[in-house]
């Protein structure tokens, strides 16, 4: 997760997310009394699922993330894949795209 600190009176550069979720956590230090803030956002249709992520102790096969694409995961020797080995980028009913399963992970054969 990328974090940034936004302070002062100048507008920050646009924040663009290519993932399925963008979370903003707002915390005020009360330095400016009563002025508050304003956030403007625009949700655009997406025809790509974005990179689902790399596995620690594993390998990702596939480098395109559009509707219809598949990504295959495998684990390094000594690790076992937990979750689905193949993720498919699917169109959603809301006109966007999303992976059909969450990112798997590699568990050590000794249980860790």
pLDDT tens by residue, 60-90: 999 999 999 999 999 999 999 999 999 999 9
Confidence of residue 14 (pLDDT cuts 50, 70, 90): confident
Q: Who contacts 104 (Cβ-Cβ below 8 Å, separation ≥6)?
A: 55, 58, 73, 81, 82, 83, 84, 85
> pTM higher than 0.85 for the full model?
no
Most confident range (mean pLDDT) of 10-14, 89-93, 103-107 is 103-107
The residue ranking higher by pLDDT, 26 or 112, is 26
Nearest-angstrom CA–CA distance, 44 and 27: 27
What is the average pLDDT value for the chain, to the nearest integer?
A: 83
Domains and CATH numbers, the chain: 58-108 (2.10.70.10)
């Amino acid at each position: 997760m990328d974090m940034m600190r936004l302070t002062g009176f100048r507008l920050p550069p646009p924040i663009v997310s290519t993932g399925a979720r963008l979370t903003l956590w707002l915390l005020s230090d009360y330095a400016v009394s009563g002025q508050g803030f304003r956030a403007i956002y625009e949700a655009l249709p997406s025809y790509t699922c974005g990179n689902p992520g790399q596995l620690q102790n594993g390998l990702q096969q596939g480098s395109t993330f559009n509707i219809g694409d598949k990504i295959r995961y495998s684990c390094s020797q000594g690790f076992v894949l937990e979750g689905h080995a193949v993720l498919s980028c699917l169109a959603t009913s809301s006109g966007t795209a999303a992976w059909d399963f969450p990112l798997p992970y590699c568990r050590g054969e000794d249980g860790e």
